[in-house]
Structure 1
Amino acid sequence: MTSAPHVEPPQRLVRFLGADSPWLARLPGLVRASLARWELTAERVVSPGGRGSLVVLVRRADGSPAALKLRAAGAADEAAALSRWEGHGAVRLLDAAPEDGALLLERLHADVSLRSLPDAKATLEAVSALHRLWVPPASPGAPEDGGHPFTTVEEHTGRAVEGIRAHVPEEARPLAEEALALRSGLLADAPEHVLLHGDFRQGAVLSADPGRAHWLVVGPDPLVGERAYDLARLVRDRLHDLAAGSGAPAIARRRVAKLANSLEVDRDRLRGWSLYRAVESGARHLAAGERADGEALLEFAGWL
């Protein structure tokens, strides 16, 4: 293994975590420790990268390619989900040190996601990739109750309720209350509890080498809940392109119908989760001072 290079975190990561983030201060040491642990040689940092993680393209001791991912939070959950999927539809986990936020992954083509395809083709491929992930959260043979480590959709969304009430502006208050009412109703009669990606979108599906499925999913923030929740994020993919065109509200509603039909998901449940998730994300962006993105998300929710 060669000496660890200087690691310059991508600006997206710095903006999201803040330049004074304790984790960013520890990051060079975490990279060095991970390279030494798995006898890796670093090649380059993937940029622009994610908002809560750093990915370094590396070579293993035998010369084979891999990707070292360091997460500010959530590494144990991602490792558990990738282990459960065992490479079926998702990137393969090669090794993990969750205590350091470190994951060693098979290398995919980090610069080639579904967003490189026309929207209609990308959506078709995304649907194909996503449905392979919806498996029971516990491994075969595990106890039915308490046999998995994942957070539920109910727990996850419950943490956002106060933020929605605090940060959605007064003029959008009826929309926020509708979103919260939809959440309560959807959770009250959830039809299933399967393992979800949690943050699925076109950019989370990368091209793979021959011998594997052409497109594989990366970057889960796994949850357990119903499929409509996972599919809801895909409904608003390429939102800025959608908003720039004509007839955006009608197109958004057609997306709901088309995606629901393609995966046999209840249309009303998908509409409800799509509206709720847009409001939740809008409130989060507004809280972070990202006014344009927050308002765009609330506008999208209003179309539904």
Structure 2
Amino acid sequence: MNRIKKRHAHLRKWAKRSGVQCFRIYDRDIPELPFTVDLYDKYLHITEILRFNEMDDDEHDRWTNLMAYTAGRALGLPIEYIFVKYRRRQKKSEQYERISQEGTIHVVQEGGLQFEVNLSDYLDTGLFLDHRVTRQMVGDIALHARMLNLFSYTGSFSVYAAAGGAQSTLSIDLSNTYTAWAQRNLEQNGFFGETHQCVAMDVFQFLHKAQKDGRQFDLIVLDPPTFSNSKKMDRVLDIQRDHPELIRKALAILAKNGIILFSNNFKKFKLAEKDLASSCTIKEITNQTIPEDFQKKRPHRSYIIQHR
């Protein structure tokens, strides 16, 4: 409880100065307490990283509920403002599915922009907090750009690009649910119409068609999942294996002086620099993209990629 209180007190002033309502206040700091605790405005989102233990199901539920109650009490939050999820190591044959139908949806602010988050129904809320700095970076370089957001999820990169003065944004994601969510996020911030499109489509199919049609983009955000075997896809995505192909296909539709911002959260990721060296320049910017509340961990790797 004291650790959460102190961490919250430390980050609260920074968050207020930065216009941030959502931030991480605990990240498995103590091995015996394998939780992440995120504050979304006045709500707590707690995720237990499941691992082997000797408790039976009832004992485990009581222990988890006690941890949630303790965290809420430390911040003066009632139990109904606390959401608890369980995350286990994902096997390659599995997909994360919807876990609830409660529909606990709130609109939160970040950097003067508004985003819809769903605290109850999915393992993730719709806004990846570790990419807060990366989103701002996209907004800073988006002026007049034709921006393409691949594996766009709920479109937060597109919102930042639009707010940064992008000429247009195009968000591509396989999921109809996330595509509609991205559209709502754009509209929530005043970005409507043909200039800011969200399309539910397989990314590989889109890249093939875009190259065939001769399309060009000035700024491409490429933030794929580590793994995906959706039935809607023609193939299984494995980011370690497939990232050179994805990057090459993105380069094929990147304008002459354009930028690809490539990121992923696979902890064992190794960039295939030798395979890509002849076609592009690559600069790792991970350290510049880790926000204040994630400094103890390295939740993602990020790179700037351009034509040679």
TM-score norm. by structure 1 comes to 0.31
- Which has the larger share of strand? 2
User: Which of structures 1 and 2 has the larger relative contact order (alpha carbons within 8 angstroms, sep 6+)?
Assistant: 1
Higher percent of residues as helix:
1
